[in-house]
Amino acid sequence: MSITIGYYPGCSGLGTSMEYESSTRAVCQALGIMLREIPDWNCCGSTPAHTVDHVLSSALSARVFAQAETAGIRDVISPCPSCVKNLRNCLNNIEDPLFCARVEALTERPLRQTHSVKSVLQVIVDDIGLDAVGALVRRPLKGLRVVPYYGCLLTRPGDVMQFDNPENPTSMDGLLTALGAEVLPFPLKTDCCGASYAIPARDVVPRLSGRLLDMAAQLGAAAIVVACPLCQMNLDLRQDQINAKNKTRHTIPVPYFTQLMAHAFGLSDAAIAFDKLAVNMRSAFDCMQRRAAVMAMHEREEAAKKAKQARAAEEKAAKKAKEAEAIAQPAGGEA
């Protein structure tokens, strides 16, 4: 299966989440998703724009759609949940004729097409399918215990994002399972990490992200898997700050789901870009190898046990058959 779709990288993909960008492109290519980057795209406004002016925020996203129309692109995907939310909000807002007129006064160009917007995760899970993902696995993540962290925006608000269960999403769980990882139940999977409060209120992220790290450690997770650049930054880049504030000693890697996909697919190190993470993935893979070795030993022991039971059953059946034959032979002779 191969599809061509418009691609909106978002600002983070060119800076703080370059590893998300490179692994996303590599994984999409492997899955047959041909990405057409929207020409001359601009920032969607992120969080600051809509807190200042809803019309301006929608106008920024509307210009992205206008650029897509120029290139003949209708359907758009983005790896960033915040970008997806802003683009979707724009489409919802301009359904109001008065609001749309105010937006078009800024963009100086009306939108003539009906666009669709999805996250990269949604396209992979819903449109490509987990069977296709599993078929590409060359290096299974067997033995890797992970918790999937969805964050606030990937599936919420439900009426805007229209993907997965808003309060108990499982799409990333299924994807990671298809890669061979052991997915642990994570009760804080949609709790806030502190988002952009790391700058105006510096005590918020250590408190909220600290809870996430604490819970992941209590569950025995070797890694926290994310799909949001801001979540990844708070949990990974700020992990030392969180430790200092909370007097903890966490060293939990925080990779993007696309990085683990690229690794499992056997793609290049440059595409995977684990070296861009602040907390090294080595500890997670060392733990994975140890667990995989233990699991393999248990599997061999179980296989040997079943083989022994099968031989015992065969011997028992043969013994019964021999006894039955011995009983039957005299009776045949008398006849």
Tell me the pLDDT tens digit for each residue of 249-260: 999 999 999 999
User: Are 186 and 280 found together in one domain?
Assistant: yes
Residue 95 in tokens: 């359904």
Task: Find where tokens 């994310």 sit.
Answer: 226
Q: Say what the pLDDT of residue 331 is.
A: 55
* 146/222 Cα distance (integer angstroms): 6
Q: Which residues, at least 6 apart from 306, have a Cβ–Cβ distance to it below 8 Å?
A: none
Q: Say what the pLDDT of residue 76 is.
A: 98
Extract the runs of DSSP E, i.e. beta strands, from 69-113: 75-78
Q: Say what the pLDDT of residue 49 is.
A: 87
User: Are 99 and 40 found together in one domain?
Assistant: yes
Domain assignment present for 75: yes
Domain assignment present for 132: no
Q: In what order do the strands lie in the sheet with 145-148?
A: 182-183, 145-148, 223-225
Q: In what order do the strands lie in the sheet with 75-78?
A: 33-37, 3-7, 75-78, 116-119
User: Are 102 and 238 found together in one domain?
Assistant: no
Distances (CA, A) of 215 to 26, 112, 125, 144: 31, 48, 26, 17
Distances (CA, A) of 84 to 162, 200, 247: 11, 24, 36
Domain assignment present for 271: yes
What 3-state class would DSSP assign to 78? strand
Q: Say what the pLDDT of residue 330 is.
A: 63
User: Are 153 and 37 found together in one domain?
Assistant: no
- Number of other CB atoms surrounding residue 133 within 10 Å: 23
Task: Find where tokens 């749309």 sit.
Answer: 100
Region 150-169 average pLDDT: 96
How much of the chain is in helix, strand and coil states, percent to nearest 5?
60, 10, 30
Among 298, 274, 30, which Cα is nearest to 143's? 298
- H helix intervals, 140-181: 158-161, 171-178
Chosen domain end from 273, 289, 305: 289
What 3-state class would DSSP assign to 319? helix
Q: Say what the pLDDT of residue 121 is.
A: 98
What 3-state class would DSSP assign to 118? strand
Tell me the pLDDT tens digit for each residue of 121-133: 999 999 999 999 9
Q: Does the pLDDT of residue 217 top 90, yes or no?
A: yes
Q: Say what the pLDDT of residue 323 is.
A: 86
Domain assignment present for 305: no
User: Are 158 and 99 found together in one domain?
Assistant: no
Q: How many CA atoms lie within 13 A of 196 on its CB side?
A: 5
On whether the CB atoms of residues 195 and 152 are closer than 8 A, the answer is yes
Tell me the DSSP string of 4-45: EEEE---GGGGTTTHHHHHHHHHHHHHHTEEEEEPTT-----
Range of the domain at 50: 3-122
For the chain, the domain total comes to 2
* 116 phi, psi to nearest 5 deg: -125, 150
Domain assignment present for 183: yes
Tell me the pLDDT tens digit for each residue of 270-298: 999 999 999 999 999 999 999 999 989 99
User: Are 170 and 54 found together in one domain?
Assistant: no
* 288/282 Cα distance (integer angstroms): 10
| Confidence bin at 324 (pLDDT 50/70/90) | confident
User: Are 163 and 48 found together in one domain?
Assistant: no
Q: Say what the pLDDT of residue 46 is.
A: 87
User: Are 73 and 157 found together in one domain?
Assistant: no
Extract the runs of DSSP E, i.e. beta strands, from 18-176: 33-37, 75-78, 116-119, 145-148
User: Are 116 and 142 found together in one domain?
Assistant: no
Give the domain CATH number at 70. 1.20.1050.140
Domain assignment present for 211: yes
Chosen domain end from 269, 289, 309: 289
Tell me the pLDDT tens digit for each residue of 29-75: 999 999 999 999 999 998 888 888 999 999 999 999 999 999 999 99
Domain assignment present for 321: no
Chosen domain end from 55, 90, 122: 122
Domain assignment present for 298: no
Task: Find where tokens 């690229």 sit.
Answer: 262
Among 56, 78, 74, which Cα is nearest to 66's? 74
Give the domain CATH number at 256. 3.40.50.11810
Region 307-330 average pLDDT: 88
Helix axes 257-264, 18-31, angle to 10 degrees: 50
User: Are 153 and 265 found together in one domain?
Assistant: yes
User: Are 183 and 224 found together in one domain?
Assistant: yes
On whether the CB atoms of residues 207 and 173 are closer than 8 A, the answer is no
On whether the CB atoms of residues 224 and 45 are closer than 8 A, the answer is no
Q: Say what the pLDDT of residue 254 is.
A: 98
User: Are 45 and 147 found together in one domain?
Assistant: no
